[in-house]
Amino acid sequence: MTGIDDLPIRDELRGKSPYGAPQLDVPVRLNTNENPYPLPEPLVRRIAERVTEAARHLNRYPDRDAVELRTALAAYLTRTGGHPVTAAQVWAANGSNEIIQQLLQTFGGPGRTALGFEPSYSMHALISRGTGTGWISGPRGDDFTIDVAAATAEIAAHRPDVVFVCSPNNPTGTAVEAATVLALYEAAQAARADGAGALVVVDEAYGEFSHRPSLLPLIEGRPNLVVSRTMSKAFGAAGLRLGYLAADPAVVDAVQLVRLPYHLSSVTQATALAALEHTDTLLKYVEQLKAERDRLVTELRAIGCEVVTSDANFVQFGRFDDAHAAWQAILDHGVLVRDNGVPGWLRVTAGTPAENDAFLDAVRTLFKERS
Ligand code: PMP
């Protein structure tokens, strides 16, 4: 049988594995940071209306610049992000993964490097590899925060072209302070002797779940700072595949150089616009999930777990001598959580109250068996 490595694939892809959270058919799935609430029926009907209208024009290519959608996203950010943003500062793509890919195609690539502080979202490294960008793994402290002195030293030593700051960070849930982002930004600009500076990407996929305000206002006067967002989490629309960025209009112009023409289908644009019309309803679910996230933290600590303070819709908990065995034991109780490969720790996504109860029961049983 022909294997991947028998094919003439690029050397740097040899022996590597694709991104792959297990998609197992179990009663309670709390492993991919999805929103547990299906879209409300009035929104489902509005999507059907908008998509029906879009279908009447599917003989034509979509709006290549997605102007109506970018205008609606800019209005959403202006309303919720603590900073006024125009459509010219917003760009949208098929999930924030594609946003990150377009940024790396534009600002990374062969001969260039990207740096992130790990453990963090594994796709930052994987998309770097996929775009031929070298990957540098920067440090985090034992409490999973970013130590400014250690981080800026790393930036000065490696002079990366792109720096990823994930806030709140996946898988640890850790939010990053604005002062830390500013210090990293300054270090990233100073490290580049060519004067061109480095791009700093603040990945705020979980921004809406944070106890803290968005880092969006930091884009003001900083043309090399990008905030990326998604409708996969807070908007409960992971199946839609809609991510977006806010930055200086020059960044939006720059990614036009690599985006595929008509990358965002008319159906996607219509669906996202319908969802944005229902922002207030969807943000009420976010409030429920934040309360459930806080309950998970409190109850896990009461059970005797160590828990990393979380600003996201998930919680990293431990510690286990054998995290994979603990993952399996929880799965045996019908609850799927995530083993991100962080030694001693697992991650659980906040689900509905009933799902969270099932998860907490499984962990309680596990801890009783241990003691
Ligand atoms: N950034 C982070 C930190 C994530 O955790 C995820 C999804 N797990 C993404 C980006 C990508 O999300 P999407 O492509 O669905 O927008």
The answer to whether residues 128 and 108 touch, using CB atoms and an 8 Å cutoff, is yes
The answer to whether residues 215 and 183 touch, using CB atoms and an 8 Å cutoff, is no
Average pLDDT estimate for 213-235 = 97
Q: What is the model's pLDDT at position 22?
A: 75
pLDDT band at 118 (very low <50, low <70, confident <90, very high): very high
Provide, rounded to the nearest whole percent, the portion of the chain with pLDDT above 70: 99
Give the mutation target among 124, 144, 232 for probing the ligand 1 site: most ligand atoms within 8 A of CB: 232
- How do 314-318 and 345-349 pair as beta strands? antiparallel
Q: Report how far ligand 1's centroid is from the alpha carbon of 109 (Å).
A: 21
The answer to whether residues 92 and 73 touch, using CB atoms and an 8 Å cutoff, is yes
Give the mutation target among 230, 242, 264, 340 for probing the ligand 1 site: most ligand atoms within 8 A of CB: 230
Number of the ligand 1 atom closest to the C-alpha atom of 121: 3
Name the CA radius of gyration of the chain, rounded: 21
The answer to whether residues 138 and 160 touch, using CB atoms and an 8 Å cutoff, is no
Integer Cα distance of 48 and 46 in angstroms? 5
Q: What is the model's pLDDT at position 193?
A: 67
Integer Cα distance of 371 and 368 in angstroms? 5
Q: Report how far ligand 1's centroid is from the alpha carbon of 371 (Å).
A: 37
> Ligand 1, atom 12: nearest CA belongs to which residue?
96
Three-state DSSP at 72 gives helix
Q: What is the model's pLDDT at position 196?
A: 76
310-332, pLDDT tens digit by residue? Answer: 999 999 999 999 999 999 999 99
Q: What is the model's pLDDT at position 192?
A: 76
Number of the ligand 1 atom closest to the C-alpha atom of 100: 10
User: pTM of this prediction?
Assistant: 0.96
pLDDT band at 137 (very low <50, low <70, confident <90, very high): very high
Q: What is the token pair recorded at 70?
A: 């970018």
Name the CATH code of domain 41-277 (choices 3.40.640.10, 3.40.50.300, 2.40.50.140, 2.30.40.10): 3.40.640.10
pLDDT band at 24 (very low <50, low <70, confident <90, very high): confident
167-184, pLDDT tens digit by residue? Answer: 999 999 999 999 999 999
Average model confidence (pLDDT) across the chain: 96
> Ligand 1, atom 14: nearest CA belongs to which residue?
95
256-308, pLDDT tens digit by residue? Answer: 999 999 999 999 999 999 999 999 999 999 999 999 999 999 999 999 999 99
Average pLDDT estimate for 79-98 = 98
Residue extents of the structural domains in the chain: 19-39+280-370, 41-277
Domain 19-39+280-370 has CATH 3.40.50.720: no
In short, whether 230's Cβ falls inside 6 Å of ligand 1 is: yes
Q: What is the model's pLDDT at position 197?
A: 87
In short, whether 349's Cβ falls inside 6 Å of ligand 1 is: no
Average pLDDT estimate for 104-109 = 98
Q: What is the model's pLDDT at position 21?
A: 72
8-23, pLDDT tens digit by residue? Answer: 999 888 888 887 777 7
Q: What is the model's pLDDT at position 65?
A: 97
Beta bridge partners of 199: 162
pLDDT at 355 over 80: yes
